[in-house]
Amino acid sequence: MNFDQKLKKYAKLTVRTGANVQPGQELILQCSVENAAFGRMVAESAYEAGAKVVWMAWNDDRTARLNYDYSPLEVFENPPEFVTGRYNYCAKVNGALINILSRDPEIFKGVESAKLLAATKAQHEATKEFDAAMDRNELQWNIVAVPSVSWARKVFPGMPDEEAVEKLWESIFKAVRLDEEDPVAAWQKHSRTLSDKAAFLNEQQFESLHYTNSIGTDFTVGLVKGHIWAGGSGKSASGVEYFPNMPTEEVFTMPHLSRAEGRVVSSMPLSYQGTLITDFSLTFKEGKVTDFTAKEGREALELLLNTDEGSRHLGEVALVPHHSPISDMGILFYNTLFDENASCHLALGACYPDTLQGGTELSKEELKQKGGNDSINHVDFMVGTADLKITGKRSDGSEVVVFENGNWAV
């Protein structure tokens, strides 16, 4: 199979298995201009699947950077309706959304933090209808990634550009199981494996998980009562099966917003709003981050933590074995979509309401009362290592080792 055929296969996997675009459905497609050729393939594939229309939303890292450098703060505080409106439109027409990522992990390094914060807040404010539809599982959405030159340079430093891009393509293809004879069947099988793990954890209903490893993590996180472990495919309100993330290796659930204690040390750098935060640690008390350290990017971490009240509390606990197709490649992608699927992680910020029984029917306030966190942020950070041990504690006090030496022990 030549490269072009592989791309087409990837586009088809994105449309059919990823977002699972249905006949007559509208698709909002976000893609960078640098990857226009792939974006068009996805659009064509969507039409072949019967899409009514594909609304292409082109973006460009470098223009976005210019905007931040030259435009005044007020522009980011008040984004025009034509920029944010497409999301709410997507929710209104029960559309599907595909986001093709290729961002340079350091594109916004050094940008005035007030602008980044204003953009995050304004976007959240303007897309409430869309966010609510996401929370209620009404939409089919999918995120995939394609290389950009600047991203590939970061992942494979010192390599000629063309070679780095090619190598990143290869790594992505491997991560999304495109090398398998029948990728669609491979995804179905993979989804079943993840749901088996989730089923086991759902049965256990652990009250808390205790993490320890040699880089200094000694941390306990409480899980909400009635939590649901999820993983693999999702199901939209209309019953359509879709995969929100490609790749995905995680099973995840809802931590209790006020039950986290101890110190957790990052195992990979975090790219937050285009700035890298390295070798950082967070100390929790009664669920809240009370202290933090970082080798680089301390300011970005502070910005993240100070965004709103919920940004200092956890919204997701995710388990990923240290041996997975992605982590076995031994590549640091500097992109959450890949790195979060190579490592156990936690997320600061909003919880996923569907990881609690009846959670999608609750108001934000009711959800909070049960321990579900709310924030305009949802930022994953990696904590998994080759020697990570996680012990689950049941409500009767008995314990089960869930992870040993970085991998599933059950």
Residue 18's φ and ψ, nearest 5 degrees, are -65, -85
Stretch that binds Zn ion, among 120-128, 150-158, 271-279, 339-347 (CB under 5 A): 339-347
16 vs 312 by CB, closer to Zn ion = 312
- The minimum distance between CB 395 and Zn ion, in angstroms, equals 25
Exactly one of 34, 135, 316, 374 binds Zn ion (CB under 5 A); that residue is 316
Q: Which two tokens stand for residue 18?
A: 């990823």
Determine the residue with CB nearest Zn ion: 318
Stretch that binds Zn ion, among 40-48, 121-129, 136-144, 308-316 (CB under 5 A): 308-316
- The minimum distance between CB 214 and Zn ion, in angstroms, equals 24
Q: How do strand 53-59 and strand 288-293 relate by DSSP bridges? A: unpaired
**Does 380 participate in binding Zn ion (rule CB under 5 A)?**
yes
Residue 130 makes CB contacts below 8 A (sequence gap 6+) with 87, 88, 90, 91, 139
Within its chain, how far is the Cα of 235 from the centroid?
Answer: 17
CA 98 to each of CA 7, 23, 183, 336, 360: distance values in angstroms, whole numbers, following the listed order: 16, 16, 19, 17, 22
15 vs 337 by CB, closer to Zn ion = 337
Give the whole-angstrom CA distance, residue 143 versus residue 319: 20
Give the whole-angstrom CA distance, residue 218 versus residue 306: 24
Closest by CA position to 360, among listed 204, 246, 249, 236: 236
39 vs 359 by CB, closer to Zn ion = 359
DSSP string, 149-164: HHHHHHHSTTS-HHHH
**Does 135 participate in binding Zn ion (rule CB under 5 A)?**
no
**Does 347 participate in binding Zn ion (rule CB under 5 A)?**
yes
12 vs 197 by CB, closer to Zn ion = 197
> Under rule CB under 5 A, how many of the chain's residues touch Zn ion?
6
**Does 21 participate in binding Zn ion (rule CB under 5 A)?**
no
**Does 260 participate in binding Zn ion (rule CB under 5 A)?**
no
**Does 165 participate in binding Zn ion (rule CB under 5 A)?**
no
Angle (deg, nearest 10), helices 128-135 and 81-92 = 30
Stretch that binds Zn ion, among 4-12, 122-130, 316-324, 363-371 (CB under 5 A): 316-324
169 vs 334 by CB, closer to Zn ion = 334
45 vs 142 by CB, closer to Zn ion = 142
Binding mask 216-255 for Zn ion (x = CB under 5 A): ----------------------------------x-x---
**Does 318 participate in binding Zn ion (rule CB under 5 A)?**
yes
Give the whole-angstrom CA distance, residue 248 versus residue 190: 9
Stretch that binds Zn ion, among 94-102, 257-265, 321-329, 374-382 (CB under 5 A): 374-382
Give the whole-angstrom CA distance, residue 151 versus residue 93: 34
- According to DSSP, the residues that pair with 32 across neighbouring strands are 59
- The minimum distance between CB 248 and Zn ion, in angstroms, equals 8
Residues binding Zn ion (CB under 5 A): 250, 252, 316, 318, 347, 380
